[in-house]
């Protein structure tokens, strides 16, 4: 049965100048030890791990979704993902399509032959979920702090956009009539907004 497994070997370097041969050699040796000789595909990217839109990774994930993959093999987990959020997304897809993740240098092996497979998956998923919750918590705290400082969040309203435009044109020395024509606004609306900017004018 081992030779029937469909294995995707994924290697990544950060730049074109870097060499991936060491990763490939280590994965090839690991495949031989596990007797994963047939049905082994190779996917290689030269890109930052923070970039989720990597060509080879995208092609490999398409195969995962098509159900033609049993195992994703990479030397270290950071070759696949550099953030826990991205890792969580990949793990969810692997679990959905019943694909095992193996990272030999870190002792990660979620194949059915490993009695600790489910435990490892749960630990990885729990850590990724914890990271997601921390991010949400930090965002909420940031929003609350900004509101307490009087910062207006969200897109500016049409009125705010007009006030900003009128403030800029007024600072350039334009009068109400010229501003009204420039912004295609009624003269009465322009003078009303001007008064909010310069209440003593």
> So which residues are the catalytic ones?
14
Report the C-alpha gap between 20 and 14 in whole angstroms.
10
Helix (H) or strand (E) holding 108, with range, is strand 108-109
Report the C-alpha gap between 123 and 119 in whole angstroms.
6
Burial class (CB within 10 angstroms; exposed 0-12, middle 13-18, buried 19+) of 8: buried
Report the C-alpha gap between 78 and 81 in whole angstroms.
5
User: 140: which strand partners?
Assistant: none
């Amino acid at each position: 049965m081992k030779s029937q497994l469909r294995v995707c070997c994924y290697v990544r370097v950060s730049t074109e100048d870097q060499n991936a041969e060491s990763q490939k050699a280590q994965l090839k040796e690991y495949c031989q030890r596990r007797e994963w000789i047939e049905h082994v595909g190779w996917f290689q990217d030269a890109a930052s791990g923070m970039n989720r839109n990597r060509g080879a990774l995208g092609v490999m994930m398409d195969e995962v979704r098509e159900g033609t993959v049993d195992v994703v093999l990479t030397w270290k987990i950071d070759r696949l993902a550099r953030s826990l959020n991205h890792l969580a997304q990949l793990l969810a897809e692997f679990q959905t399509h019943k694909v095992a993740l193996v990272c030999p240098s870190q002792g990660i092996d979620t194949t059915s032959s490993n009695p600790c497979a489910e435990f490892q998956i749960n630990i990885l998923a729990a850590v990724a979920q914890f990271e997601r919750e921390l991010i949400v918590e930090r965002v909420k705290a940031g929003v609350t702090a900004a509101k307490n400082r009087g910062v207006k969040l969200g897109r500016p309203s049409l009125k705010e956009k007009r006030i900003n435009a009128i403030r800029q044109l007024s600072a350039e020395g334009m009068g109400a009539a010229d501003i009204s024509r420039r912004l295609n606004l009624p003269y009465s609306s322009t003078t009303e907004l001007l008064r909010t900017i310069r209440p003593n004018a």
